[in-house]
Amino acid sequence: MGKIDADVVIVGAGPAGLVLGNLLRAAGIDCLILERRSREHVENRARAGFLAANSVRVLTENGLADGLLTNGVRHDTCAFRDDRAEFELKYSELGNGEVHTVYPQQFLVTDLIAEFLARGGEIRFGTEVSSVSGMDATVIADDLLLRAKYIAGCDGRRGISLRSVPARVFRRDHDISWLAILAEAPPSMSAIGYAIHERGFAGHMARTSTVTRYYLEVPPGEDPENWGDDRIWDELHVRMRADRYGELKRGAIIERRIVDMASRVMDTIQRGNLFLAGDAASLISPAAAKGANLALMEAEILAHALIEALTETDTTALERYSADCLPRIWRAQEFSLWMINLLHGPAGYDDEAVFQRALRDARLESLRVSRAHQDFFAENYVGV
């Protein structure tokens, strides 16, 4: 078995691992990124697209925002629809006055890979990691034993890294599923659209001028292949109330997959010299667009801590990494649950279902009429 030494081995070439790697390379830290997928796959994997103000700051301050600043689109308005009315919230004029920048994750990942390589970093694509140990800082990948000073586990919810951190794990299955749809179609509205309907939630999120992300609430366990293009568009038409608010711009469906609403928080995200970031550190539902933004926040905190440890032999920040990140993770989880309860209600006509839907309607009405609730929404919607 071969052997390689590195200051930091990063497992996973998603936003967390790539931002971390770029920040470490800028400080002259020797680091190696291992990614089980091909470069083509990770550069074309469509995921998140809404970057919060703090994420834009992290990227801009560290010379990683050229593509974002050139091609990203400012977004600052949400529209909510139910059977009574539609109302819009321009959250740039509420709360802290912050906005999102829409820049599809695959574009950001492509930028980050190119920059990391330009900074002298190495990425090994198509490399399967079978073992990670924070106690002796070793990684076994394919036929190699890698020894590092520190390991960053950024390999997502199904990666090996999180299973290598013994911790109390808090999980919640929200028993809600979305059909995530990517359509080759221009946006049908200028706002982020949230539609609440008796047949289930529907969402509209612009990605580019020619591609739009939609969501449809579906029964848990649903097969996405049951949803052909016509069925998807017809159901979106109904739930988005296109007859009332304007027709949707249709196009070919280029992706359909099921997203199950689930949350996971670990009571520590480090063990020995192994530190978790991104979806490996915590899992959050997509209802509030927090996943990628948490990943970039964690990557920045971890990068600064690793740089202090490696260049100044000061491990204070590394020792408190979990303590610094977990309060932010829990706050994001709380707002995500608030959004889930805002957008969904149980089906049926028994007393409990009717009661829960009435609470949802009251929550939406408070958001429509109360400036205090609007400020709360804006601060939490964009903040991390």
pLDDT tens, position by position, 100-111: 999 999 999 999
The helix-helix angle for 105-118 and 15-26 (nearest 10°) equals: 30
Q: Is the pLDDT of residue 291 over 70?
A: yes
Q: Measuring CA to CA, which residue among 143, 148, 211, 144 is closest to residue 182? A: 211
8 Å CB contact between 283 and 4: no
Q: What's the confidence (pLDDT) of residue 258?
A: 96
Options 15, 75, 91, 215, the catalytic residue: 75
321 is catalytic: no
290 is catalytic: yes
The mean-pLDDT minimum among 1-10, 57-66, 77-86, 245-254 falls in 1-10
215 is catalytic: no
373 is catalytic: no
pLDDT tens, position by position, 306-362: 999 999 999 999 999 999 999 999 999 999 999 999 999 988 889 999 999 999 999
The alpha-helical segments, DSSP class H, found in 240-320 are 242-245, 291-312, 316-319
Residue 14 phi, psi (nearest 5):
-95, -170
Q: Considering the chain, what percentage of its residues have pLDDT values greater than 90?
A: 90
Assigned CATH for 2-75+98-170+263-336 = 3.50.50.60
SS3 5: strand
Options 194, 214, 215, 321, the catalytic residue: 194
Options 100, 286, 321, 344, the catalytic residue: 286
Q: What is the pLDDT confidence band of residue 143, given thresholds at 50, 70 and 90?
A: confident
Burial code (b: 16+ CB inside 10 Å, e: under 16) for 38-55 equals eeeebbeebbbbbbbbbb
Q: What is the pLDDT confidence band of residue 2, given thresholds at 50, 70 and 90?
A: low
Q: What's the confidence (pLDDT) of residue 3?
A: 65
Q: What's the confidence (pLDDT) of residue 149?
A: 96
Average pLDDT over residues 216-220: 96
| pTM exceeds 0.75, yes or no | yes
Q: What's the confidence (pLDDT) of residue 347?
A: 83
pLDDT tens, position by position, 155-188: 999 999 999 999 999 999 999 999 999 999 999 9
Q: What's the confidence (pLDDT) of residue 341?
A: 94
381 is catalytic: yes
Options 100, 204, 290, 344, the catalytic residue: 290
Q: Is the pLDDT of residue 1 over 80?
A: no
First to last CA, the chain: 43
